[in-house]
Amino acid sequence: MPAIIILLLLVTSQTAQDPASSAEKPAEKQECQISGQIVQQEGGQPLRKAFVALRPEQPSKDHKQISQKTAEDGRFCFKNIAPGRYVLGAEHKGYVKQMYGAEDAWSAGSVMAVEQGQKFEPILLRLMRAGVISGKVVDEDGEATPGIVVQALLSADEIERVATFQEESMRAMGRKTGLVPVQATVTNDLGEFRLADLAPGKYFVNVSSGREEREVFLFITPRIIVHPPEEQQILDELPASPGR
């Protein structure tokens, strides 16, 4: 008899739970708040694996940078964004970084004010091909000089626009010298260098010594005009010592 009572209780309990189970609603699908596509400027082909970052204007515990890589079709989607002010940017190897709302490659772009649950219209960012300046650095005997710092610099009239992307130390040097470094590399064992990921523009190339306590400008070329995606090669060998 006790066994029958236990069985009945179990059946009654299970039956009582069935209406509750059937009343459960499926979880709501989260929708994209900020979405869009990254494409090539020339031709409009989608760029897969482009790095897209949504950065808070004022980072805090509740407002941190979120990022992702684009899918095969170049699309991205950000969900569950905390209300606040953000800037959106995209970059890809071989292309110039692009900020949402930017007028040119050096602009910080527009701030996006995000409210709770707000959805934005899909965003299309077109990335332009980056330019390259390459060459070789030699010493007074014409021999290759490895380990020499080579920089691409913009002139003083570009400083304020570039300043949005540069550290304060770089901005200070730009104001002092009239030139702003935007890309740097070190010569290889053959004395060769390659300054990549450059936006279209007119650059000076600086050969400097990184071995001293203070970096010394040893040689600066005349302006070099960069036309992406072409590689601008400096045919004359650059001296690694002053006065040559």
Please name the CATH architecture into which domain 34-127 falls: Sandwich (2.60)
Hey, which residues does 114 pair with through a beta bridge? 84
Distance, in Å, from the CA atom of 201 to the CA atom of 167, rounded to the nearest integer, reads 21
Topology match between the domains 34-127 and 131-239: yes
Q: Which pLDDT does position 171 carry in this prediction? A: 59
Per-residue pLDDT of the chain (244 residues; tens, 9 = 90+): 454 433 333 333 444 444 444 455 555 566 789 999 999 988 899 999 999 999 998 888 889 999 999 999 999 999 999 999 999 999 999 898 899 998 776 677 899 999 998 999 999 999 988 888 888 888 878 888 888 888 888 876 665 555 444 455 555 666 666 777 788 899 999 989 998 888 877 888 888 765 543 343 444 454 555 555 556 556 555 555 544 4
User: What sign results for the dihedral spanned by CA atoms 77, 78, 80, 85?
Assistant: negative
Q: How many CB atoms neighbour CB 28 within 10 A?
A: 6
Q: Give the domain ranges of the chain.
A: 34-127, 131-239
In eight-state DSSP terms, residue 109 is -
94: left (phi > 0), else alpha (psi -120 to 50), else beta?
Answer: left
Between 3.40.718.10, 3.40.640.10, 2.60.40.1120, 3.40.50.300, what CATH number should domain 131-239 receive? 2.60.40.1120
